[in-house]
């Protein structure tokens, strides 16, 4: 039960196991963000949704699998950042029986996405927001289940266990699938682009996206996830990674490295360019140690968005803490 280490992206779908499929969301570039279809008998759930542009790809997969829209019981955004939840409103319109399962802190933003749109416009700018996310559709509050910590969903007898997992965002849940011994981790177990995988395994990058990076909470969350002894993690960026016990150390170290970089830059004005530069240097150094032989230009292309978002996230964190 392992995903292919490299992906030729000829299909938007990667079957991780007979009942779990990774779906390309077509956000920014192919291979950047995915979402998942989880099937149990004649019922299904979607974990993360991509953006409004992802919906046709999701609906085509349901059709391929002979699933009617009514058979999708749950749509579960891991958190309300828009590469994960931007398509939720449109998707719910297509799936008449589905309930939206979301962290209590994210629920109101799915019901009334105006503040979410304003926040994302501040991060991405108006033009990019309109291009990537279009219009965010509101969701009927009667269809929303607030996932309190420990909530267990029943998908045709398969138990899905929702955990409150702050660190990347306070509105983040991870979903434990006992049957496959895996977590759907959203951004909580980091990012591992398949292009950066080497003989040493996936390259784990920590997304300190604005505005709720919380180092201490993140350390605790990672420890809590590992207490389940997971055998694999289904990442949104990108696809599944096996043997998370061998990867979690690099995420703990990344949290500490970010805090160190942030503190070292805290007195500089303006801070953001220096944060960007220090993060870029960190990634390049780590990638070379990891055996990555891609040219710097290609690494810059792959990590441009993350470097920017991580720098902004640390800048916001510093302004709250220092």
Q: Name the residues that contact Zn ion, by CB under 5 A.
A: 81, 187, 209
CA distance 100 to 71: 14
In the complex with Zn ion, the residue whose CB is nearer, 81 or 158, is: 81
Q: Which is nearer to Zn ion, 48 or 187 (CB)?
A: 187
CB of residue 161 vs Zn ion: minimum separation in angstroms? 21
In the complex with Zn ion, which residue's Cβ is closer, 239 or 292?
239
Our measurement of the distance from residue 257's CA atom to the centroid of its chain's CA atoms, rounded to an integer in Å, reads 21
- Tokens 């981790």 found at: 185
Least CB distance to Zn ion at residue 28 (A): 13
CB of 172 to Zn ion, least distance (A): 7
Q: Kindly report the CA angle at 10 between 7 and 12, in degrees rounded to 5?
A: 85
Query: What is the smallest separation between the CB atom of 155 and Zn ion, expressed in angstroms?
Result: 24
Report the nearest approach of Zn ion to the CB of residue 82 (Å): 9
Structure tokens at 281: 């240097």
Least distance to Zn ion from the beta carbon of 158, Å?
A: 26
34-40 sheet: strands from edge to edge:
13-17, 20-24, 34-40, 43-47, 72-76, 99-102, 144-146
Of residues 33 and 155, the one with the C-beta less far from Zn ion: 33
Residue nearest to Zn ion (CB): 81
Q: Decide whether 170 or 290 has the Cβ nearer to Zn ion.
A: 170
Kindly tell me which of 177 and 187 has the beta carbon lying closer to Zn ion. Answer: 187
Residue 268 region by backbone torsions, left for phi larger than 0, else alpha for psi between -120 and 50, else beta? beta
Residue 259 makes CB contacts below 8 A (sequence gap 6+) with: 215
CA distance 260 to 265: 9
| Entry field: residues in the chain | 322
39 versus 212: smaller Cβ distance to Zn ion: 212
Give the nearest distance from C-beta 260 to Zn ion in angstroms: 22
Min dist CB 186 to Zn ion, Å, is 7
Give the residue with the Cβ less far from Zn ion, 28 or 94: 28
- Asked if residue 54 lies in contact with residue 34, where contact means CB atoms within 8 angstroms, the answer is no
Tokens at residue 66, please?
């002979």
**Using an 8 Å Cβ cutoff, are 40 and 157 in contact?**
yes
The Cβ of residue 54 has, within 10 Å, a number of other Cβ atoms equal to 26
Per the CB < 8 A criterion, the answer to whether 237 and 32 are in contact is: yes
């Amino acid at each position: 039960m392992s995903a292919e280490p490299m992906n030729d992206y000829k299909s938007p779908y990667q079957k991780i196991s007979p009942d779990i499929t990774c779906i390309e969301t077509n956000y920014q570039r192919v291979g950047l963000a995915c979402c998942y279809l989880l099937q149990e008998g004649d019922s299904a759930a979607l974990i993360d949704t991509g953006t409004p542009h992802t919906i046709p790809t999701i609906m085509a997969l349901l059709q391929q699998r002979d699933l009617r829209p009514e058979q999708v019981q749950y749509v579960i955004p891991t958190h309300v950042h828009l590469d994960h939840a931007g398509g939720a409103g449109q998707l719910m319109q297509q799936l008449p029986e589905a309930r939206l399962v979301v962290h209590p802190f994210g629920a109101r933003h799915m019901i009334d996405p105006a503040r979410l749109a304003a926040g994302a416009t501040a991060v991405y700018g108006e033009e990019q927001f309109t291009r990537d996310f279009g219009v965010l559709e509101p969701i009927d509050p009667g269809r929303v289940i607030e996932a309190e910590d420990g909530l267990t969903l029943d998908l045709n007898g398969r138990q899905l266990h929702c955990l409150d997992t702050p660190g990347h965002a306070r509105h983040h849940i991870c979903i434990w699938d006992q049957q496959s011994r895996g977590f759907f981790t959203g951004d909580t177990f980091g990012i591992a682009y398949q292009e950066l995988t080497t003989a040493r395994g996936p390259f784990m990058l920590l997304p300190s996206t604005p505005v709720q990076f919380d180092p201490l909470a993140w350390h605790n969350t990672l420890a809590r996830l590992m207490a389940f002894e997971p055998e694999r993690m289904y990442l949104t960026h990108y696809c599944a990674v096996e043997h998370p016990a061998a990867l979690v150390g690099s995420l703990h170290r990344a949290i500490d490295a970010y805090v160190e970089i942030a503190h070292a830059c805290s007195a500089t004005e303006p801070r953001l360019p220096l944060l960007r530069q220090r993060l870029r240097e960190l990634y390049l150094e780590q990638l070379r140690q990891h055996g990555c032989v891609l040219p710097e230009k290609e690494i810059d292309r792959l990590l441009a968005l993350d470097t920017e978002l991580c720098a902004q996230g640390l800048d916001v964190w510093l302004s709250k803490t220092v």
